[in-house]
Structure 1
Amino acid sequence: MNFYQILRSAHSGWRYLVLILLVLAIIQALAGWLGKKPYTEGNRKLNVFTLIFTHVQILFGLILYFLSPLVEAGIRYWKMEHIGMMIFAAVLITVGNARSKRIDDPAGKHRTIALYFGLGLVVIVAAIIAMIKADPARTFWGVS
């Protein structure tokens, strides 16, 4: 097994951690926002871990982008759409986390996280669906 295959497997598996953390952060933010709960240290830690895991996933993806034979082969989805959508999702998550830090109101913090992380999740799911359309051999939950 070479470096490319190891990194591809890591990128493929790490996505589950990102998706799980993202869904948990969104659920927690919605519960805090709609339930008018205080913004706790636990909320902050979950949001930061979600941000870190997303950034690690993007780092894996960027390294793969420059090593991948799919990009060299000129497959449009991998050259443009996948990387663009995933970077956009990571930017949404990063901006949401940063903006929530500047808000003093707990409901505002929860709302900001719920909105930005939710939009990031929508973009990620849309990119995964586009991947399935671009390569029918892949599945939504299958390891690539």
Structure 2
Amino acid sequence: MYDVIKMIHSYWAYLVVIMLVVATFNALIKFFGNKEFHAVDFRISLFTLIVMHIQLLIGLILYFTSPFGLKNITNNGMGGLDSFSRLLAVEHPFVGILAVTFITIGYSKHKKKLTSKPKFKMLAIFYTLGFLLVLSRIPWSNWF
């Protein structure tokens, strides 16, 4: 089961990164270009939110079934983890949860705004923060 969940989490991450790039640059370009907010912009931000939440759920399942997640901390303690083990067991999950939180906040805040500029501003700020957090803690050596 662990191998299947790991594979799903790894391949779903490509969709997450693609959607974050699209949503972040869509919000930034339209914010700075003073464009109107349309249904396609809403769909892009919503689909990105959904993809991120699915990745979080898959990641949480993986965290509890993986020998590199909670089991690694339980067996070795926090002091017994090397930098790569700490990345997989602590930093990657924590920063992933933060990224999903920022994206959820941005999505929620943008819905309360009535005009286009503030909508794109909320999406641009929070989706960019989430995107940067995701990029900062991808285990690149495992990914390629």
What TM-score do the two structures reach when normalised by structure 2?
Answer: 0.87
Q: Distance in 2 between matches of 1:11 and 1:41?
A: 29
Alignment of 1:29-68 (within 5 A): 29-68=27-66
CA RMSD of aligned residues (A): 1.2
Counterpart of 1:73 in structure 2 is: 72
Q: Distance in 2 between matches of 1:30 and 1:121?
A: 12
Counterpart of 1:135 in structure 2 is: none
**Aligned pair partner of 1:23 in 16, 21, 26:** 21
Identical pairs, percent: 34
Structure 1: 4+ residue segments shifted above 3 A:
none
Counterpart of 1:6 in structure 2 is: 4
What TM-score do the two structures reach when normalised by structure 1?
Answer: 0.87
User: Does residue 1:90 correspond to 2:100, yes or no?
Assistant: yes
- For structure 2, the residue ranges without an aligned partner over 5 or more in a row are 74-84
Instruction: Give the aligned residue type for 2:107.
Output: N
- For structure 1, the residue ranges without an aligned partner over 5 or more in a row are 133-137
Counterpart of 2:135 in structure 1 is: 125
Q: Distance in 2 between matches of 1:32 and 1:100?
A: 14
1:4-33, Cα deviation, whole Å (9 max, x unpaired):
111110100001101111111111111211
Q: Distance in 2 between matches of 1:29 and 1:88?
A: 20
Q: Distance in 2 between matches of 1:122 and 1:8?
A: 22
1:102-131, Cα deviation, whole Å (9 max, x unpaired):
011201101110110000011111112xx3
What is the number of residues matched between the two proteins? 132
